[in-house]
C-alpha cells in the first residue's frame, strides 16, 4: 500500500462496489478496490473498532491499527480496552502515537443491564463505580485517551425517576472530581430502550443535557450516539444543536441494522456536514457492524464512509 497516495481527486474510476443513489459525485461514479484501499483524506476523525479490517490486516491488533492509519482513519475506539493486558494497552498507545491517531472512548466501568446501579443510590454500587473510574484513569494514561464511556444503568422501579436522576448526578459529580485533575472526560451515553437496551434510565439527549448541566463539570459530557437517537427520538440535528455545548463525542451506526452508513434510513452525509460546520474536532466512533462479509464487506465499509464524508465545505 502506498501510504502517501491520497484519493481525494480520484473518486471516479469504475468497479462493482458502489451502492446507493442520490449521492452527489458518487451518483454517477464508482470506485476501484485499489482506490478504496489507498489513504483517504477524511474530513472528520472517523474511528473504527478492532475487527473491522481483520480480513485485510490479519488478527494482530497492532497490524489492524496500522492498517486503519494506512486507510486514513484518524481515531480508534475499543469498548473492551480496559479488559486488555497492561502490556497490550501500552503497545496500542505507542502505535496510536506513531500513527498520528487519537484514542476514542473505552467503557470505563461495569454496566448493569438488568439491575439498578447508579440510579438506586446504593452506596456499595456507587463506590464500586468510583473505584472503576480510578482504574480507568490508568488505562487512559496508557493509551492516550481523553474520553471514557459511562452508562448509568438500569432504572430502579422502587424509586421515583427524579430521585433516580439525583442519585446518578451525585455519582457523576464524585466521578468528575476523580477525572478533573487528569483532564479526562466521561461521556454519558443515552441508549435506546425500544430495540437494544430495555430498562435503561438514560435514554434522551435532553435528559443527558440536564444531567450534565447539574453535574457542572468539564469532566462530564454527552456521548451522542446517532444510532440510538434515530430510534429513541429522531430529530437528530435540532437535538444536537440544542445540546451542542455538552457534546464532545459522537458515535454512529445506521438504522435499522446498526451497520455502516447507507444501509438504513439515516442521512449521515447531512449529519456529518452539520457537525463539520459546527467546528467539531472530536472523534466519530464507528460503533456498528458491517453489511457484508470478508474483504468485500470491508470494502463496502470504506466506501460508505467516503460517501458520507462527501459533503461540500
Residue 266, in any domain of the structure: yes
Which residues 6+ apart lie within 8 Å of 221 measured at CB?
A: 185, 186, 187, 188, 212, 246, 247, 248, 249
Residue 4, in any domain of the structure: no
Q: What is the mean pLDDT of the chain?
A: 92
Global pTM exceeds 0.85: yes
Coil vs helix vs strand at 79: coil
Residue 288, phi then psi, degrees to nearest 5: -160, 170
Query: Digits of tens for pLDDT over the chain (313 positions)?
Result: 443 333 333 333 333 344 444 444 444 346 788 889 999 999 999 999 999 999 999 999 999 999 999 999 999 999 999 999 999 999 999 999 999 999 999 999 999 999 999 999 999 999 999 999 999 999 999 999 999 999 999 999 999 999 999 999 999 999 999 999 999 999 999 999 999 999 999 999 999 999 999 999 999 999 999 999 999 999 999 999 999 999 999 999 999 999 999 999 999 999 999 999 999 999 999 999 999 999 999 999 999 999 999 999 9
Residue 54, in any domain of the structure: yes
Structurally, how many domains does the chain consist of? 1
CA atoms within 13 A on the CB side of 92: 31
For the stretch 24-36, what's the b/e string if a residue is b when 16 or more beta carbons lie within 10 angstroms of its beta carbon? Answer: eebeeebbbeebb
What's the angle, vertex CA 257, arms to CA 42 and CA 8, rounded to 5? 15
Closest CA to 147 of 113, 177, 174, 182: 182
Output the CA torsion 59→61→63→64 (10° steps).
80
Which pLDDT belongs to residue 31? 74
d(CA 71, CA 1): 9
Give how far Cα 61 sits from Cα of 55, 117, 284, Å.
12, 33, 20
Answer for the pair 223, 213: CB distance below 8 angstroms, yes or no.
Answer: no
Residue 71, in any domain of the structure: yes
- Cell 468497479 belongs to residue: 15
Residue 247, in any domain of the structure: yes
Coil vs helix vs strand at 78: coil
Give how far Cα 239 sits from Cα of 147, 224, 234, 303, 305, Å.
22, 10, 8, 28, 23
Quick one: DSSP state of residue 259?
B
Element housing 130 (H / E) = helix 123-143
Residue 304, in any domain of the structure: yes
Residue 128, in any domain of the structure: yes
Q: CATH number for the domain including 163?
A: 3.20.20.150
A 10 A CB-CB count for 16 gives 10
Handedness of CA 124, 128, 133, 134 (dihedral sign): positive
Closest CA to 66 of 151, 3, 153: 3
One DSSP character per residue, 59-116 reads S-HHHHHHHHHHHT--EEB-TTGGGS-HHHHHHHHHHHHHHT-EE---B-S---SSSB
Which pLDDT belongs to residue 32? 84
- Domain boundaries, position 279: 43-308
Residue 74, in any domain of the structure: yes
Amino acid at each position: 500500500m502506498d501510504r502517501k497516495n491520497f484519493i481525494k481527486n480520484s473518486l471516479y474510476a469504475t468497479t462493482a462496489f458502489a451502492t446507493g443513489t442520490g449521492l452527489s459525485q458518487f451518483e454517477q461514479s464508482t470506485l476501484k478496490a485499489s482506490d478504496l484501499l489507498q489513504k483517504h483524506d477524511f474530513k472528520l476523525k472517523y474511528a473504527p473498532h478492532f475487527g473491522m479490517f481483520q480480513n485485510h490486516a490479519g488478527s494482530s491488533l497492532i497490524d489492524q491499527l496500522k492498517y486503519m492509519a494506512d486507510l486514513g482513519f484518524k481515531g480508534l475506539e475499543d469498548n473492551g480496552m480496559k479488559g486488555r493486558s497492561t502490556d497490550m494497552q501500552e503497545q496500542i498507545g505507542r502505535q496510536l502515537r506513531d500513527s498520528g491517531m487519537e484514542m476514542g472512548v473505552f467503557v470505563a466501568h461495569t454496566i448493569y443491564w438488568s439491575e439498578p446501579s447508579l440510579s438506586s443510590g446504593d452506596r456499595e454500587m456507587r463506590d464500586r463505580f468510583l473505584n472503576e473510574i480510578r482504574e480507568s484513569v490508568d488505562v487512559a494514561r496508557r493509551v492516550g485517551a481523553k474520553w471514557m464511556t459511562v452508562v448509568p444503568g438500569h432504572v430502579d422501579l422502587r424509586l421515583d425517576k427524579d430521585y433516580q436522576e439525583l442519585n446518578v448526578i451525585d455519582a457523576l459529580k464524585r466521578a468528575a472530581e476523580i477525572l478533573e485533575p487528569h483532564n479526562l472526560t466521561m461521556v454519558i451515553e443515552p441508549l435506546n430502550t425500544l430495540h437494544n437496551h430495555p430498562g435503561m434510565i438514560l435514554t434522551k439527549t435532553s435528559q443527558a443535557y440536564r444531567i450534565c448541566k447539574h453535574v457542572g463539570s468539564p469532566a462530564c459530557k454527552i456521548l451522542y450516539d446517532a444510532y440510538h437517537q434515530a430510534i429513541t427520538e429522531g430529530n437528530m440535528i435540532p437535538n444536537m444543536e440544542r445540546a451542542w455545548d455538552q457534546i464532545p463525542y459522537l458515535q454512529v451506526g445506521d438504522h435499522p441494522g446498526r451497520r455502516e452508513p447507507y444501509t438504513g434510513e439515516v442521512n449521515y452525509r447531512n449529519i456529518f456536514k452539520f457537525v463539520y460546520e459546527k467546528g467539531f474536532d472530536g472523534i466519530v466512533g464507528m460503533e456498528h457492524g458491517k453489511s457484508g462479509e470478508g474483504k468485500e464487506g470491508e470494502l463496502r465499509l470504506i466506501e460508505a464512509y467516503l460517501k458520507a464524508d462527501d459533503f461540500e465545505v
